[in-house]
Amino acid sequence: MFSIEDVVLPALEKPLYWLGAVTAAWLSLCSVYRLLAGFKVWVLGNGLLVSPTKLGKWAVVTGATDGIGKAYAEELARRGFSIVLISRSQEKLDEVSKEIGSKCGVETKTIAADFSSVNIYSKIEDGLAGLEIGVLVNNVGISYSYPEFFLSVPNLDNFIDTLVNINITSVCQMTRLVLPQMTERKKGAILNISSASGMYPVPLLTIYSASKAFVDFFSRGLQAEYKSKGVIIQSVLPFFVATKLSKIRRPTLDKPSPERYVAAELNTVGLQTQTNGYLPHAIMGWVSTALLPASILSTHVMGMALSQRARYLKKQKQG
């Protein structure tokens, strides 16, 4: 006698076999594609794209006197761009301008502007008038002085306005100023420096994290709008880089110097709309967003923030 299993199982074996074979083939193809794409981005790169001949004579960098901003200004000058440096302190601007001019032999221009204010953009527009801008690096930004609960952030009312003006409004307004001529020439690149903190919520740095998420979404939306116009708009999401803002003094493999980070990031322009900019950071981004469950990541990030907050407050009491 035949049981129902004798009839059903043979009928299922062949479809299940082909389903498994197709799934395995698809996963293999996806893996090969990812490996080839990663090789193209992180080994071959696209460094020849970011040049004055392909994008335009001038590069504009905000927050250009320290850290990542200064590194962008120096690297772009090394590649032959004339540089417009925009930051708050004219004294620091003059120092960086002189340094870049002597090292790279390119033309420089400075514009002193405090991005915590919103009435600066007519002055910046006048300063950029007549320049063929090939690259804009929207780098200026601020974070918390230490991790803190939202309602306990010192001088919260003013802090909200200042952070939004610097981290969000500046990106929108600077883009407004340079994008028209880029679309007219059908070439140019806008690099918006977001943060890995914008890839997922970071408790106790909530306003900062949310502002960087805005920069990321703003960049990706604009890229979809203006890709057909020949303009590259890239969202850059670094993890920790050894800068004053991060309070990291010594570079390591996963916390590179600004110079090392920027040299790697510029090779991704035109290859990735959204990038962590640096291979170790890309691996960290993949692990934190694709592998770790959101609840575990949130608990881990919250624990780190609470620990940093406790150390800061303890140090303040001792001081």
Question: Rounded CA gap, 162 and 257, in Å?
Answer: 27
Which CATH topology does 46-318 take? Rossmann fold (3.40.50)
Residue 273, pLDDT score: 95
Report how far apart, in Å, the C-alpha atoms of 79 and of each of 73, 199, 268 are: 10, 30, 15
Instruction: Write down the pTM of the prediction.
Output: 0.88
Which portions of the chain are predicted below pLDDT 50? none
List active site positions. Answer: 208
The pLDDT tens digits of the residues spanning 253-297 come to 999 999 999 999 999 999 999 999 999 999 999 988 888 888 899
Quote the pLDDT of residue 173: 98
Q: Taking the domains of the chain in order of start, what are their residue ranges?
A: 1-44, 46-318
8 Å CB contact between 198 and 216: yes
What is the sign, positive or negative, of the torsion defined by CA atoms of 283, 37, 44, 191?
negative
